[in-house]
Amino acid sequence: MKLWSLIVLIFLFYSCNKDSEEPYKLPENPVTLISSDSIKTWKIAERYNGKVRMNMGPCFMSYRQTFLRDSSFYDNNEKTKGCGETLKGKWHLHHNSKGDPYIKLVSPQISQLLNIPENYKFFKILYLSKDTLKLAFEHQQYGNKKRIITDLFVREDLDVGDRYYHH
Any domain includes 141: yes
Residues 6+ apart with CB under 8 A from 65: 41, 42, 43, 73, 74, 75, 76, 153
Q: How many domains does the chain have?
A: 1
Any domain includes 98: yes
Question: Mind listing the pLDDT tens digit for each residue in 26-82?
Answer: 999 999 999 999 999 999 999 998 888 887 788 888 999 999 999 999 999 999 999
Any domain includes 78: yes
Residues 6+ apart with CB under 8 A from 45: 152, 153, 154, 160, 163
pTM, two decimals, is 0.83
Domain of residue 31, residue span: 2-155
The CA distance from 41 to 63, in Å, is 10
The CA distance from 159 to 167, in Å, is 21
CA–CA distance from 107 to each of 18, 72, 113, 148 (Å)?
Answer: 34, 10, 10, 21
The CA distance from 68 to 75, in Å, is 11
Closest CA to 44 of 135, 114, 121, 140: 135
DSSP string, 13-47: HHHHHHHTPPPPPPPS-HHHHHH-SSEEEEEEEEE
Closest CA to 124 of 155, 154, 148, 89: 148
φ/ψ of residue 128, rounded to 5: -145, 130
CATH, residue 131? 2.40.128.280
pLDDT of 9 above 60: no
For residue 40, what are the β-bridge partners?
67
Any domain includes 62: yes
Any domain includes 11: yes
Question: Mind listing the pLDDT tens digit for each residue in 131-158?
Answer: 999 999 998 776 678 889 999 999 999 8
The CA distance from 132 to 155, in Å, is 7
Any domain includes 164: no
